[in-house]
Amino acid sequence: MSLEDAWLMYFSGDLEGAERIANAVYRRTQNSQTRARAAFLLGLIAGRRGRNEEAVEMLREAERLGLRTPQLYLALARLLYKLNRLEGALRAVREARKLESSEEDGFVDTDVLVLEAKILIKMGRRGEARQIIERLVRMALADDEVLRLAEELSV
């Protein structure tokens, strides 16, 4: 079985099977790109199973092995936010935003911006959070969560 099979299992909800295969791939391969993708998947699985510290370790391992994707940094930011490691969460979410905006279409996922605003609010940096929320409102990307944050910040 391959890492692609593990991803299919992950997306179908078979976390145990996905973890078993991803662990095997991670342990047996010498290719750093494949190891990085396996570590990323293992981090996502650990996070979904509530093993947040392990998830952070595996996502950092994927980064150390050279994986640089918005999805990696968004997953890392979400976990660090959950663990109340706000400085690390902010660095990770900003890296996700930077990588997303450097992609061909220049589009930044609203999830990234909303998470960044939530982190900033929790850090007491309301002015910076307000700027992000105002941007989302101007771009007509304000969903219920954005509107709730805007109300909280009195934007």
Within this chain, do residues 112 and 154 fall inside the same structural domain, yes or no?
yes
Look at residue 103 in the predicted model and tell me its pLDDT. 58
Within this chain, do residues 31 and 89 fall inside the same structural domain, yes or no?
no
Q: For residue 27, what is the domain's CATH number?
A: 1.25.40.10
Within this chain, do residues 63 and 77 fall inside the same structural domain, yes or no?
no
Q: Could you give the number of structural domains in the chain?
A: 2
Residue 46 corresponds to which amino acid? Answer: A
Within this chain, do residues 78 and 124 fall inside the same structural domain, yes or no?
yes
Within this chain, do residues 63 and 86 fall inside the same structural domain, yes or no?
no
Within this chain, do residues 76 and 92 fall inside the same structural domain, yes or no?
yes
C-alpha 38/C-alpha 132 separation (Å) is: 33
Within this chain, do residues 58 and 87 fall inside the same structural domain, yes or no?
no
Asked if residues 153 and 126 have their Cβ atoms less than 8 Å apart, the reply is yes
Within this chain, do residues 85 and 107 fall inside the same structural domain, yes or no?
yes
Within this chain, do residues 89 and 147 fall inside the same structural domain, yes or no?
yes
Give, for all 155 residues of the chain, the pLDDT tens digit.
899 999 999 999 999 999 999 999 999 999 999 999 999 999 999 999 999 999 999 999 999 999 999 999 999 999 999 999 999 999 999 999 999 876 565 556 788 999 999 999 999 999 999 998 888 877 766 677 777 777 777 64
Task: Give residue 114's domain range.
Answer: 72-155
Within this chain, do residues 7 and 25 fall inside the same structural domain, yes or no?
yes
Residue 71 corresponds to which amino acid? Answer: Q
Three-point CA angle 94, 96, 100, nearest 5°: 115
